[in-house]
Structure 1
Amino acid sequence: MSVRKTLFALSSALMLSVSPVLAAGTVNVAIIGEPDTFDPMVSTKDVVSIVTQHFVETLYTFDDSWAVVPLLAAGMPDISGDGLVYKIPLREGVTFHDGSSMDSADAVASLQRWLEVSSRGKSVADKVAGVEASGPYEVTITMKEPYAPLLSLLAFSNSAAVVYPEEIIAPEIGTIIGTGPYKIEAHEPDRYTQLVRFDGYTQPTGAAERKQIPDEIRLIPVPDGNTRAEGLLSGQYDYADGLSTETYDRLEASDVAEPVLLKPFGWPVFAVNHKKGIMTDLNIRKAVQAALPFDDMLFAGFGNEKFFKTDGALYPEGWTWHSDAGVELYNQNDQEKAAEYLKAAGYDGSPLRILTSHQYEFHYQMAEVAKAGLEAAGMKVQLDVVDWATLAQNRNNPDLWDIYITHSPFLPEPALISSLFSTAREGWDNPAKNEILDRFTSESDPEKRKAIFGELQKIVLEDVGFIKVGDFNALQGKAKGLTGVDPSPWPAFWNAQVSK
């Protein structure tokens, strides 16, 4: 650590030791499982984003309307006329949890690591000419070609471009040191992560404000959805993520809790292994796509049409990116046609290995129905049912699966859909798709980008890059006395208040 940072750490520690602590209580949050890392650069899992957003921060973030706004940056970047150079001013006086101050050296080292280790960073790394400190509190990113989604990538809390102290930067980081409004006080694996208010926090202004109302946020891994629901209904938890739609009526009738329905939320997806195994054969992929009974799968997963819609477009109606391109290939539910594709592939009866988990129960329920549809087409199907942490680990090994089941919210920028990139774990490296994707990310005109996205959606369906199951509305739940938490795929609790 530099002399400057050491002196700052000592002075900050003295100030913190005499800072008054306001009594605002504890917010107890039931999450779907244990985060397997506190380093969001290396993870795309929602459970990691929900936890880590409280103690690490990015240069930019999104406001309630999904517009990019400054967080650690002091303002929006100065972008050159050719769209290649981004000069990003940094806020002065920002403090890390170790007491040191943030400057451009920290931001540069962190961004360089993000380009190397993050799936979303890797997706843009070959288009970045350089990242450098152009002043004590200014970072310059120079692109080889225009890249329209850059700011959205820098704002996303998932596979995130967070800023760490330069001194801890390494391929793997043991102890995470961030700038967020809360810091880790204790972590008992599979029991809880305890976050406490960081009294040295420097508050951003405007839409990114984080009021630090609770003294403590306790995030409790509860893998069983029924247990999460019962804990919420009994008053044990103030908030619960990932609830079954079957819980909705009980929450609505409760005097203690109430439902939080995110509508429309996103889409379940069957991620396809393009690196190894039987799904590398296009005819096998087409057979799977043709055989899947999406209506039945969605009904099994959600039980009531108010929670889902059978829709093949990657974005629903009303969204900027909505397109009908290629959707005729969606929801064929034609096992005979699938059998023809299997014959053309010379299918030898090898099992199709579907990796799924009970922690998102709708994943498993959809998998069971998918298995029946695929078997009707003549495929042998093997369901590998594991806990979510094991699934997250196993999906990184292409030897272990052919399809894994996940889901995603509708993201404001399609370039945030990691499966589109050949650098993602699925490895979809189709030259025609890559060319369309390059045109899409380098185009700045909104109308032209919409048209190119239609091409991109079409090739997703034609080449079966991944398989969208449909649209769904997600259910969370909260205590009736809880305020200050905006409905979100990644609910944050720095503004939360609980009145009992």
Structure 2
Amino acid sequence: MLQRLQSASRRALLLAGLAALPLAPALAQTAPAPTGTSTGTLRVVLSNELTSIDPVVSTAAFVRNHGFMVYDQLFALDGKGLPQPQMVGAHTVSADAMTHRFTLRDGLAFHDGQPVRAADAVASIRRWGARDVVGKALLAATASLDVIDDKTFELKLARPFGPVTESLARATGSALFVMPERIAQTPATTAITDPTGSGPFILDPGAWRIGDRTVYRRNPNYRPRPEPADGLAGGKVVKIERLEWVAMPDAAVAGSALTNGEIDFIEHPAPDLLPLLQRSRGVTVGLINPIGSMVWLRLNHSQPPFNDPRARQALLHAIDQKEVLQGMGIPTEDQVPYCPAYFMCGTPIESAAGAVGLRNAEPEKARALLREAGYANQPVVFLNGADNPLNNGATLVLAEQFKRAGLTMDVQTMDWATVTVRRNRREAPSQGGWNAFVTIANALDAGNPLSNFYMASPCEGGLTGWPCDTKLDELRRAWWEEADATKRAALLEAVHARAYEVLPYINAGQFRTKSAWRSNLSGILAATVPVFWNVERK
């Protein structure tokens, strides 16, 4: 299987493409100025192109990436993952930690020139809290959320809730971004169409062409914080005039464009290309995600066979994480050969409580559990977002492992944008639904028992996949309501062990991902997600 995924012919095509492929058609009409001349334009290739813009309705990473361009946050996570004031200028907490008062800093304005008000922040929190798992937990613990004056709002808790500022700094899943009240009043089930925010970039709707590029301009009226940029926090100083997010799904074309200076940044170069990119003059390969990423296998809990926990548990014995990473082309030095941790290995809350399988495949154990679950050889529809080489590699290897375990696999290939739409369908797989898909998560996604949105199992109103387990959600809630550190540590172990019983999703391998950019760029931030304030040409 691995030989088929990384055949000599494919490798030759990809590597030769760096030197031989022509300029991508999408860039042909906008070739950059000669080397050494700053055009004021930064051209970037991210994992997927922008196809929708609502960060509440969609949890897709490309929508989050767009959100950090055009919106700002009340609090933001610094390089250590700690929440820091961003739009907030002053924050006071009562002695019993049950009342929080926030005052917005001076100079905040939306792209249409209107000032940012406390009413905008409150409306944005309420809309976000109607869908996001962190937002729902915060609002469920809230007695009142009121506007005090144009710049001040107050949150009173009905019961203890420790991570208030961490929640307001939510950076993934449905990240918390502040919108104008008129937009934030849109029902959380209806996608917004107006991209007005108050962030450091402004979307140019007339230049947004799906399949080609998305264009942003520097917001001339944005007032950065005075602190240096640090992770997603601090001063968002934009040093370019224009940002082009280029659609370029072919990995070899993107690598060629980077080495030739036709683009400036690739978020996730194909692993096969990294050795040559590292040797290319004028290219820097580095980490913007220090902890790394993880392959998450999301299963549909509402449809056979994975509505039965025994069928989900069977996959623990079908998966060999190291084989998955090898099939994705991840270099050995960037692999974590085995990681059972739902909150990722290498983090302060890494755990192996309840862990089963994943290290060495045992197909016979998997077959036995499938028989117990009553699996009747029906096709398993596995959605493959093949325009992302990491997703594609992981999906193909996992499909082969599941075949060995006795599952009849139906791998359906499409682009990732289509996956993000298809995965919301609850119909039977034979009627346009699905059974499984792969997504790539990072440390912000994994977070903790509250912020890990794929762990939430609320039964009603849950995320795609629709996991339902009252006990797991009760343990999660007990964790974020517990103030005692020792008790919280014990609760985390209980959460982890229960997750291995019900499997809201499965960890299929952890690895580090490198990005690549032109060496004449400075200011690339290790923010885990790609952001482009602070970046300039030397």
TM-score, normalisation: structure 2? 0.84
1:440 counterpart = 2:479: yes
After superposition, what is the alpha-carbon deviation per residue over 1:385-413, rounded to whole angstroms, capped at 9, x for unaligned? 21010001111113311111001111244
SS at match of 2:366: helix
Q: Is the 8 A contact 2:305 2:373 kept in 1?
A: no
Whole-Å Cα distance in 1 between the matches of residues 280 and 408 of structure 2?
44
Match of 2:453 in 1: 418
AA partner of residue 212 (structure 2):
R
For structure 1, the residue ranges without an aligned partner over 5 or more in a row are 1-22
Whole-Å Cα distance in 2 between the matches of residues 173 and 306 of structure 1?
43
Match of 1:475 in 2: 514
TM-superposed deviation, 1:488: 3.4
1:361 counterpart = 2:386: no
Match of 2:264 in 1: 238
TM-score, normalisation: structure 1? 0.90
Distance 1:81 1:425, change over 3 A: farther
Whole-Å Cα distance in 2 between the matches of residues 117 and 352 of structure 1?
29
TM-superposed deviation, 1:180: 0.8
SS at match of 1:478: strand
AA partner of residue 183 (structure 2):
I
SS at match of 1:163: coil
Whole-Å Cα distance in 2 between the matches of residues 33 and 316 of structure 1?
23
SS at match of 2:517: strand
After superposition, what is the alpha-carbon deviation per residue over 1:218-262, rounded to whole angstroms, capped at 9, x for unaligned? 111222222222211111111111212212111111112121234
Q: Is the 8 A contact 2:45 2:247 kept in 1?
A: yes
For structure 2, the residue ranges without an aligned partner over 5 or more in a row are 1-37, 428-432
Whole-Å Cα distance in 2 between the matches of residues 161 and 454 of structure 1?
28
Q: 1:55-454 alignment to 2 at 5 Å? A: 55-75=70-90, 77-118=91-132, 120-158=134-172, 159-169=174-184, 170-171=186-187, 172-185=191-204, 186-206=207-227, 207=229, 208-261=234-287, 262-309=289-336, 310-399=338-427, 400-411=433-444, 412-421=447-456, 422=458, 423-454=462-493
Distance 1:276 1:147, change over 3 A: farther
Please tell me the root mean square deviation across aligned C-alpha atoms, in Å. Answer: 2.0
After superposition, what is the alpha-carbon deviation per residue over 1:265-284, rounded to whole angstroms, capped at 9, x for unaligned? 12111012123332110111
AA partner of residue 385 (structure 1):
T
Q: Is the 8 A contact 1:42 1:119 kept in 2?
A: no
Q: Is the 8 A contact 1:265 1:471 kept in 2?
A: yes
AA partner of residue 155 (structure 1):
A
Q: Is the 8 A contact 1:32 1:222 kept in 2?
A: no
SS at match of 1:278: coil
Whole-Å Cα distance in 2 between the matches of residues 55 and 123 of structure 1?
26
Count the aligned residue pairs.
476
Whole-Å Cα distance in 2 between the matches of residues 82 and 329 of structure 1?
44
Tell me which moved more, 43-52 or 376-385. 43-52
AA partner of residue 243 (structure 1):
P
Distance 1:212 1:371, change over 3 A: closer
Distance 1:24 1:67, change over 3 A: farther
AA partner of residue 189 (structure 1):
I
SS at match of 2:479: helix
Whole-Å Cα distance in 2 between the matches of residues 223 and 466 of structure 1?
27
After superposition, what is the alpha-carbon deviation per residue over 1:157-212, rounded to whole angstroms, capped at 9, x for unaligned? 33122111112331232212111111112322221121111111122232510112
AA partner of residue 459 (structure 1):
R
Tell me which moved more, 243-252 or 385-394. 243-252
Whole-Å Cα distance in 1 between the matches of residues 121 and 377 of structure 2?
52
Distance 1:318 1:371, change over 3 A: closer
SS at match of 1:280: coil
AA partner of residue 405 (structure 1):
V
SS at match of 2:130: helix
SS at match of 2:504: coil
Distance 1:271 1:82, change over 3 A: farther
Q: Once the two structures are aligned, what percentage of the paired residues are identical?
A: 23
Q: Is the 8 A contact 2:294 2:344 kept in 1?
A: no
AA partner of residue 454 (structure 2):
S
